[in-house]
Amino acid sequence: MIGWVVFKGIGYAAQMVVGTYERITYFYYLYEGNLVRLLSSSRSDYLSGGMTSFLNDPKAGFTFFFRPRFSVSA
């Protein structure tokens, strides 16, 4: 019984490692080999895009104070 649990646990751990490797290689090629961008995540891209959008908004003051913080775009 314990051998079966250990065997299943090793298989599950191996699947997690393979999935992590696949995800990292996907983003590595998506970011064209830019390791800094890969390691720092794409959050800086979203922050930069959001800041640009906010600063170019003609109603930025109103948006800052009265716009909902989370929105769902259809």
**Digitized pLDDT (tens) for each residue of the chain, 74 residues in all:** 777 777 788 888 999 999 999 988 988 888 888 887 777 766 667 777 777 887 888 877 777 777 666 555 54
Give domain status of residue 14, yes or no.
Answer: yes
Q: Which domain holds residue 44?
A: 35-66
pLDDT of residue 74: 47
Give domain status of residue 74, yes or no.
Answer: no
| CB contact at 8 A, 38 and 27 | yes
Give domain status of residue 72, yes or no.
Answer: no
- The total domain count for the chain is 2
Give domain status of residue 71, yes or no.
Answer: no
The contacts of residue 51 (CB under 8 Å, 6+ apart) are none
Cα separation of 27 and 23, whole Å?
6
From residue 5, how far is each of 1, 10, 11, 22 by CA, in Å?
7, 9, 10, 26
Q: How many CA atoms lie within 13 A of 50 on its CB side?
A: 11
pTM exceeds 0.85 for this model = no
Q: Are residues 47 and 23 in the same domain?
A: no
